[in-house]
Amino acid sequence: MTIDQARKIVQSARCIVALTGAGMSAESGVPTFRGSEGLWKKHRPEELATPEAFRRNPELVWEWYEWRRGVVRNCQPHAGHRALAQAVSTVITQNVDGLHQLAGSRNVIEIHGNIMHTLCFDCGADLEGMFCESCGGRARPGVVWFGEALPPLAWEASAAAVRNADLLLVIGTSGAVYPAAQLIPLARAAGAQVLALNLKGADLNGPCGEILPKLLQ
Ligand code: BJW
């Protein structure tokens, strides 16, 4: 599809929702998970991103998340984040870096949490320190690991947003992780058009920091 054809679809849509993945933040300097440069090439998910991994070795898990927090602190949103903030009604993001909010998006649903948040591993309360004052549980990063349920309110709001959309932009995600990927057939079943942006194999191919400003201008 050409950018002009895609722009016509965007212009005729009344309610545009975006589903973003790690590729959205790649040009800001946040590493993706899969692919040749992805985090999972160097680290095994089951050693770092599961509740079992945290039970086994919380220090190792924290070390990895502190490193990633440091990376995120040094990253800024790019032109693609800013273009989305002007054009879409809701951003559903799998990213945990907060860059959509920094770019000015007001309605952001973080279905995999936020890396800067800290929760109690035992009771799920928001924490400031390293131990929970109400139950004594240990602090953990506020993200969703494999085998954990997505935050129910975030999931319900995401499903409602895609059902209400007439266009879903799917940006920079491998679509490998569920239930996030389930939002795409859900949108289609509810009558929305789906437009995918990725480096290759999508409706629009190329870096989203370059394509989104042209698409949404
Ligand atoms: C660019 C670009 C540029 C690069 N421009 N593009 C059904 C079927 C099979 C399995 C399951 C299923 N249902 C559930 C599962 C199990 C599991 C799962 O999905 N496994 C699969 C891997 C097989 N899912 C879960 O465990 C989920 N929980 C769950 O289902 O719970 C059930 C339950 C119910 C009730 C009670 C208890 C349990 C939870 C999933 C959590 C995922 N967590 C992670 C880590 C988050 C924390 C952290 O950051 O550390 O989330 S994994 C990781 O993958 C991260 C991401 O959000 C997620 C998705 O990755 P994403 O964003 O797509 O990134 P990449 O790297 O894969 O792709 C990047 C793309 O960008 C590529 O395509 C590039 O080409 C592209 N790109 N630069 C445009 N400039």
Q: Is the CB of 37 under 6 A from ligand 1?
A: no
Give the number of the atom of ligand 1 that is nearest the alpha carbon of residue 32: 66
Q: Is the CB of 163 under 6 A from ligand 1?
A: no
Question: What is the chain's percent helix, strand, coil content, to nearest 5?
Answer: 40, 20, 40
Tell me: the pLDDT tens digits for 108-167?
Answer: 999 999 999 999 999 999 999 899 999 999 999 999 999 999 999 999 999 999 999 999
Q: How many CB atoms lie within 10 A of CB 94?
A: 23
Tell me: the pLDDT tens digits for 63-98?
Answer: 999 999 999 999 999 999 999 999 999 999 999 999
100 catalytic per annotation: no
Confidence of residue 36 (pLDDT cuts 50, 70, 90): confident
How far apart are the CA of 177 and the centre of ligand 1, in A?
Answer: 3
Pairing of the two strands 204-205 and 139-143: unpaired
Distance CA 9, CA 137 (A): 50
Q: Is the CB of 157 under 6 A from ligand 1?
A: no
pLDDT at 4 over 90: yes
The residue that leads in pLDDT, 177 or 43, is: 177
